[in-house]
Structure 1
């Protein structure tokens, strides 16, 4: 497959992946989203140029995104931890339930068709973007997280749908925590660590579930594309601390608007791909 590609097309893909890694890394540090909100749609739209079928390209995009989030989350979480913006107690309480959600979401994604994964990504991204863009900053449903079992159910939800979307968890963690009057910088920092809990089992699941799938592109191990991983990861790790620095330098309102803006663009792109 790669042998028959035009060299200019291959170079263009490499440049796109480099740019994706840079942008995704900054977003990982800035918004705690692990970069997946950028990586998934970019891979989804570039994989067809390599002859990847519509029935597996979303799975590859999600699996590869989760793999890149492992190292990106480590880099981002370390930077946030040094700034004291990670709630370790919340991680201990939510971690096991997020993990269970990831297992369920990964199992479902492995048997779902591409349209289902694309639809899930588009709908949930749009809902979260609308919440962050239009919810007044001083409006909260409570000043603390709900009691059990709703608190644990929220954690399962975050893990389940983050795994299906190939994102690091910040897409849900940040708006949910701020809905309960959680400081946004602490929410972003904690979300970066949650990304690691999501990405490790999610990646393993996509590696295993796609291992015997026919017609995978060269360089794939299961649903994880090694070329994309090798290009994107160094860029995301290098630029995640830049995002962390920005997150601690701009006002809270701008941070929310940036989060909503990128989610909205991603949702529109995925809706367009699904409908066309």
Structure 2
């Protein structure tokens, strides 16, 4: 039963992460921490192992999703590598912050962060680019209606934002797309589908760097990772197809409620130990 549950967890987290450019860790890490109270298989899970294992899984989620988005021609490679110049060092800093954090402190901080992410998702559909005309690096994208959309960003600002996103990724084991995608849309004028696809490439690259650090620190549960991997790979492919074929509003609405409940549960677990 536990095996089936974990396979399903990897699949569902990867689908949701791929659809919205989140990476899946926002689901995997809190699920592992909560399930550690109820299943023998996960009884020894610490924040460091949950985060390290999640980031390892995110390599495969990110790769699976990115390959699917590449086929759809929705990945902006130049922008992704510029963002990675910030998210990569940020991820390493996040791993360092995670190294000695206690379980109760981690649960409370992470629970608060998840609730914050849920509110970001609430406003995500209503945000519009703040700038009337792109500045800095100017990029162009042709949507399905054959309309050419112009967007752009200042590299220094983009790298600083990506550093914060990478730090959250290394600290909490999440992809960071929950913060990066809205920033790309709001500040830089990215078309939403392009922002999600480009975010997944950045998440893939950052996850590699973070995972290497966590492997060096011994923060990987390899058996758990092998159980989660098949669902994560398949979910990444399916999530990219869902993103292409339909609006993700219904999924996002469900995820908002789910994240608020999970966030409150983590804070309660951190404060009471139960």
Q: Do the structures match in fold with TM over 0.5?
A: yes
Deviates more, 1:259-268 or 1:238-247: 259-268
C-alpha change, 1:256 and 1:46, in structure 2 (3 Å) is: closer
Number of equivalenced pairs: 252
Give 1:118 deviation, angstroms: 2.3
Equivalence for 2:148: none
1:42 to 2:39 alignment: no
Partner of 1:133: 122
The 8 Å contact of residues 2 and 41 in structure 2, kept in 1 or not, is answered as no
Partner of 1:214: none
- Pair 1:207–1:135, CA change in 2 (3 A): closer
**Pairing 1:241–2:237 present:** yes
**Secondary structure of the corresponding residue to residue 223 of structure 1:** coil
Equivalent residue for 1:91? 80
Query: Compared with structure 1, are the counterparts of its residues 166 and 134 closer, same or farther at alpha carbon in structure 2 (3 Å cutoff)?
Result: same
Task: Choose from 149, 166, 169 the match for 2:173.
Answer: 166
Output the CA distance in 1 between the equivalents of 2:248 and 2:227: 32
Select which of 227, 230, 233 maps to 2:226: 230
Aligned residue among 79, 83, 86 for 2:68: 79
Q: Which runs of 5+ in 2 are unaligned?
A: 135-151
CA contact (8 A) 1:37 1:266 kept: no
Partner of 1:124: 113
Q: 1:116-265 counterparts in 2 under 5 A?
A: 116-134=105-123, 137-142=126-131, 144=134, 147=154, 149-180=156-187, 181-209=189-217, 222-251=218-247, 253-254=249-250, 256-257=252-253, 260-265=256-261
> Is the 1:29–1:243 Cα contact (8 Å) retained in structure 2?
yes
Q: Residue deviations 1:194-241, cap 9 Å, x none?
A: 1112211211222222xxxxxxxxxxxx22111210111111101221
- Give the root-mean-square deviation of aligned CA atoms: 2.4
Residue 117 of structure 1 deviates from its aligned partner by: 2.7
The 3-state SS of whatever aligns with 2:97 is: helix
Specify the SS of the correspondent of 1:28: helix
The DSSP-based 3-state class of the residue aligned with 2:154 is coil
1:30 — aligned with what?
A: 19
Once the two structures are overlaid, the 10-residue window that deviates more, 31-40 or 117-126, is 117-126
Contact 1:28 1:76 in 2 (8 A): no
Q: TM-score normalised to the size of structure 2?
A: 0.82
| Pairwise CA distance, 1:40 | 0.6
- Deviation per CA, 1:79-114: give whole Å up to 9, x if none: 011112211121121112111101111111112222
Question: Could you state the TM-score of these two structures normalised by the residue count of structure 1?
Answer: 0.82
